[in-house]
Each structure stands twice: as structure tokens, then as C-alpha cells.
């Protein structure tokens, strides 16, 4: 550095130029300045992300505690141990997993025919879009069971809200009648008049099949009806390209 040069009769490093002159004369000055600017922006972005991560960590623990409290109140955990009902919940992969497990545990799925099983389970997988036509319940038994499921959802959603947790969406009966008819053996052309509706139908049936298989495997008391519903739904256009 210039201030470290003690002088010995020779020219100082860089000649007589001052540091400021050397910087100004750098042929790559613009590139260096742009790089420094980018580095400054990256440092600011890193600080922002670290701050957000810290806030999320701070939020995660109380949210987990609230969820654990709800699960304990509903009988799914006892301290840090899963109850029998909690062990069932582990095998359900659905946004309404607690509600579905409650439905099975309370016997709402018991004693149903194959078409009725498909119809009632569809409320957990179907969610109407804005332009969908809302269907009704296919028979009185399914309507009564569906009403009980809805009452259970109301209780669960109130308690989720009171605990400061996101509320579960309401079970939707809009596909129930179609699922019932299809599982009863009605053909596709008797259900729909256009290819667009048929395409949505296949997508909804694939989602229904996935949940029926979970029920078959997780709840032995209704496994026979759930397995029958899988076979009844997984046919024709629904079975094309689908897994066995």
C-alpha cells in the first residue's frame, strides 16, 4: 500500500497515482460496480429470508402445539402417544383426514352397500368449481349419513377456528349421486352428454378410488364394502391407464 511505502529512492508502487485515480482508471470499473451492487442486493435478500425463516420458526411451535391440543381433545393422541384412533389417522392422506377418520370411527361407513359407500366417500374428495352443477344425495340412507358427516364437520371447524388453526373445507355432496350411479353400473353416456364433463368425471373418480383404497386398507370393519366400491368404480373409462 502507498501509506506503507517507506521510500528508498525508488518510485512508489503504482507510480505517483493516487488510489482514487487507479480505481477511476480501471477498464472494468463498470463491471466491478455492477457486481458490488448485485452483492449488496444479495446480502439484503439473505437478511430478509433469514428474518422470514426466523418468524416461521417462531410460528411453527405454537401452531404445532395448537394442533396437538386439538388431536388430544378428539382422542387421537395421549401426550406424545398415538391412540388407536390416531394410528388409523396415520394411513389417511386426505385434506379432511380427521373428519374421515371420525366418520369411520363413529360407524357412519358401516352397513353401506357398494354404491352407497362410493357416494358417501365422494364428499371427502370432491370440491365443486364455480361452473359445476351441484348434485343431490342419491338415496335416504346416504342423505342421513351425509347429514351426520356435515354436523361433525361443523363441530370440527368451530374447534379449529377457536384454536387458531386453518378450518377444514366443508364436505361436498356434489359428486355423490354420480358416484352412486357409476358404482351401480350405469354407463358413461347415460351420465353425461359432453366430453368435458366426462373428463372431469374420470379425474374425480380417480381421486375417489385413491381414498376408497385407503379406507379399505386402514379400516378393516368396512374393508369389504370399500374393496367392492373400488372394483365398481374402477371400470370402463376410469380404468383406462389406471392402476389395479
The torsion defined by the Cα of 170, 175, 177 and 181, in degrees rounded to 10, comes to: -150
Domains in the chain: boundaries: 21-68, 81-239
Task: Give the pLDDT confidence of 64-82 residue by residue, as tens digits.
Answer: 777 777 788 777 887 778 8
Integer Cα distance of 137 and 58 in angstroms? 45
Structural domain 81-239, CATH architecture: Orthogonal Bundle (1.10)
Contact 212, 233 (CB under 8 A): yes
Predicted pLDDT at 11:
54
Integer Cα distance of 102 and 193 in angstroms? 37
Nearest of 213, 207, 219, 217 to residue 172 by alpha carbon: 207
Task: Give the pLDDT confidence of 119-168 residue by residue, as tens digits.
Answer: 999 999 998 876 555 568 999 999 999 999 999 999 998 888 887 888 88
List, in sequence order, every residue forming a beta bridge with 81; answer none if it has no partner: 78
Longest dimension (CA), the chain: 108
Residue 27: C-alpha distances to residues 19, 63, 103, 123 (Å): 15, 56, 74, 69
Phi first, then psi, for residue 75 (nearest 5°) are 85, 25
> With 90 as the cut, is the pLDDT of residue 220 above it?
yes
pTM: 0.70
Confidence of residue 6 (pLDDT cuts 50, 70, 90): low
Confidence of residue 243 (pLDDT cuts 50, 70, 90): very low
Amino acid at each position: 500500500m502507498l501509506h506503507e511505502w517507506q521510500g528508498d529512492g525508488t518510485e512508489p508502487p503504482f507510480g505517483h497515482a493516487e488510489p482514487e485515480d487507479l480505481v477511476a482508471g480501471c477498464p472494468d470499473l463498470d463491471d466491478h460496480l455492477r457486481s458490488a451492487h448485485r452483492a449488496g442486493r444479495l446480502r439484503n435478500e439473505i437478511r430478509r429470508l433469514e428474518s422470514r425463516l426466523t418468524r416461521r420458526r417462531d410460528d411453527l411451535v405454537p401452531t404445532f402445539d395448537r394442533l396437538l391440543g386439538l388431536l388430544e381433545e378428539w382422542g387421537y393422541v395421549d401426550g406424545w402417544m398415538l391412540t388407536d384412533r390416531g394410528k388409523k389417522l396415520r394411513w389417511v392422506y386426505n385434506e379432511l383426514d380427521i373428519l374421515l377418520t371420525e366418520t369411520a370411527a363413529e360407524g357412519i361407513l358401516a352397513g353401506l352397500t357398494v354404491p352407497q359407500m362410493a357416494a358417501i366417500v365422494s364428499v371427502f374428495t370432491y370440491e365443486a368449481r364455480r361452473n359445476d352443477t351441484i348434485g343431490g344425495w342419491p338415496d335416504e340412507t346416504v342423505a342421513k349419513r351425509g347429514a351426520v358427516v356435515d354436523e361433525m364437520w361443523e363441530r370440527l371447524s368451530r374447534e379449529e377456528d377457536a384454536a387458531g388453526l386453518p378450518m377444514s373445507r366443508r364436505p361436498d355432496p356434489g359428486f355423490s349421486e354420480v358416484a352412486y350411479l357409476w358404482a351401480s353400473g350405469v354407463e358413461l353416456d347415460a351420465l353425461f352428454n359432453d366430453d368435458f364433463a366426462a373428463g372431469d368425471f374420470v379425474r374425480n373418480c380417480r381421486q375417489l378410488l385413491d381414498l376408497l383404497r385407503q379406507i379399505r386398507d386402514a379400516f378393516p370393519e368396512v374393508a369389504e364394502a370399500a374393496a367392492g366400491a373400488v372394483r365398481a368404480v374402477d371400470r370402463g373409462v376410469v380404468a383406462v391407464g389406471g392402476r389395479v
